[in-house]
């Protein structure tokens, strides 16, 4: 019998080509479209914050996924994970914003939906594996499964998969790990798939592309306050601390400040007096730190203190680090060369060469032994 694989078909080009490659290799391929957000359901919870005319992006994606499934000759089922998404992902997402942290919804989606709720569903249907369109690989070392970087360094998504547990990795196939995005689009075009040129999703995971500030205001009341320089000079009014992150440049809308022509950056946030601090300096000392503490660390393999590399953000280059395992599943990460914009709430993924050994969420950030008051 062919091994049964259920692929998460999102309506995009990556998962479409992943499904095709699995069929080509001889797997018994089935597809699931995960519905994790529904305006009607969440309107009931929140008292109708959305306009009735709003078009749900998932409806378009589901239509595209069905077309792909038909073209490839695989069955597709729409599965409702709305409650799981709300309870496991979105509530945490909101709670972090309330603390003025900057959570990464893609990480939460992978941890709680794609590699937990979806994986459990697939196993209940007799699948041996699930598959996704992530650009990543997996490797087994000393009987432990690890995430490995994808060969396309411009699209490698190992960072987003860095908290997946070894047993989850074992049950997952990553068909795109050894090919590039250009190859994926060419395969889709050669197959005549309508999604061959469809742009990549850049919105909130499973919710889609929206005006983020307007969307967040539906759930968290925004409190405007002063935007100042560190010396106390008043610049203007900000729209709410939760809309800004350390190192941010875009969206500040600062102009006409006398004797200042350089771009402005967020260099601090104060919850106590609801103040946002900005400076016209991309290399301001307040943007840098030399160590941080991670919480909720997932580690695959032997816990050994020592030298590794890390990504503090998805697009950031690897930084040389030294880690020390602490109590309560925390890890101290030191980088004496200093790193820019290490931000509470974001994820730190830890690597040994191309192997991602684990990750944790940035909880505290320090510079020269002093805690950075970023919230």
The answer to whether the beta carbons of residues 258 and 234 sit under 8 Å apart is no
Catalytic site includes residue 348:
no
Q: Which of 205, 292, 348, 356 is catalytic?
A: 205
Exposure letters 85-123 (e unless 16+ CB within 10 A, then b)? bbebbbeebeebbeebbbbbbbbbbbbbbbbbbbbebbe
Residues near 63 by Cβ (< 8 Å), separated by ≥ 6? Answer: 11
Instruction: Give the integer Cα–Cα distance in Å for 219 and 203.
Output: 17
Q: Which of 56, 109, 348, 356 is catalytic?
A: 109
Instruction: Give the integer Cα–Cα distance in Å for 11 and 319.
Output: 35
Catalytic site includes residue 292:
no
In Å, what is the CA distance from 227 to each residue of 222, 264, 268? 15, 11, 10
Q: Among 166, 117, 82, 119, which Cα is nearest to 7's?
A: 119
Residues near 161 by Cβ (< 8 Å), separated by ≥ 6? Answer: 110, 115, 134, 136, 147, 356
Instruction: Give the integer Cα–Cα distance in Å for 359 and 111.
Output: 12
Residues near 35 by Cβ (< 8 Å), separated by ≥ 6? Answer: 58, 62, 78, 79, 80, 81, 82
Q: Among 191, 190, 187, which Cα is nearest to 175's?
A: 187
The answer to whether the beta carbons of residues 97 and 216 sit under 8 Å apart is yes
Helix, strand, coil content of the chain in percent (nearest 5):
30, 30, 40
For the annotated catalytic residues, the residue numbers are 109, 205
């Amino acid at each position: 019998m062919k091994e049964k694989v259920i692929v998460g078909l999102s309506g995009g080009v990556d998962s479409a080509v992943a499904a095709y490659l699995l069929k080509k290799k001889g797997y018994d391929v089935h597809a699931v479209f995960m519905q994790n957000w529904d305006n009607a359901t969440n309107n009931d919870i929140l008292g109708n914050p959305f306009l009735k005319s709003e078009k749900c992006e998932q409806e378009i994606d589901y239509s595209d996924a069905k077309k792909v499934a038909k073209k490839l000759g695989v069955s597709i089922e729409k599965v409702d994970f709305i409650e799981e998404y709300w309870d496991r992902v979105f509530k945490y997402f909101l709670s972090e914003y309330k603390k003025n942290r900057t959570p990464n919804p893609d990480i939460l989606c992978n941890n709680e939906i794609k590699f937990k709720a979806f994986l459990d569903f697939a196993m209940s249907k007799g699948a041996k594996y699930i598959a996704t369109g992530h650009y990543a690989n997996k490797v087994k070392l000393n009987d432990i499964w690890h995430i490995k970087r994808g060969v396309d360094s411009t699209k490698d998504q190992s960072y987003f998969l860095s908290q997946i547990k070894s047993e989850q990795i074992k049950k997952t196939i990553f068909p795109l790990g050894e090919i590039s995005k250009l190859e994926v689009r060419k395969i889709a075009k050669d197959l005549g798939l309508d999604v061959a040129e469809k742009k990549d999703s850049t919105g909130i995971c499973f919710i889609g592309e929206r005006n983020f500030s307007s969307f967040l205001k539906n759930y968290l009341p925004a409190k405007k306050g002063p935007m100042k320089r560190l010396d106390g000079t008043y610049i203007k009014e900000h729209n709410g601390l939760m809309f800004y992150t350390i190192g941010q440049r875009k969206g500040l809308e600062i102009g006409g400040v006398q004797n200042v022509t350089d771009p402005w950056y967020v260099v601090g946030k104060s919850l106590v007096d609801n103040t946002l601090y900005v400076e016209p300096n991309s290399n301001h000392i307040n943007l840098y730190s030399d160590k941080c503490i991670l919480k909720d660390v997932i580690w695959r393999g032997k816990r050994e203190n020592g030298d590794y590399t890390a990504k503090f953000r998805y697009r950031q280059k690897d930084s040389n680090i030294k880690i020390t395992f602490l109590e309560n599943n925390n890890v101290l990460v030191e980088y004496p060369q200093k790193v820019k914009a290490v931000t509470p709430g974001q994820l730190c993924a830890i690597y040994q060469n191309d192997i991602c050994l684990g990750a944790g969420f940035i909880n505290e950030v320090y510079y020269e032994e002093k805690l950075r008051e970023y919230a």
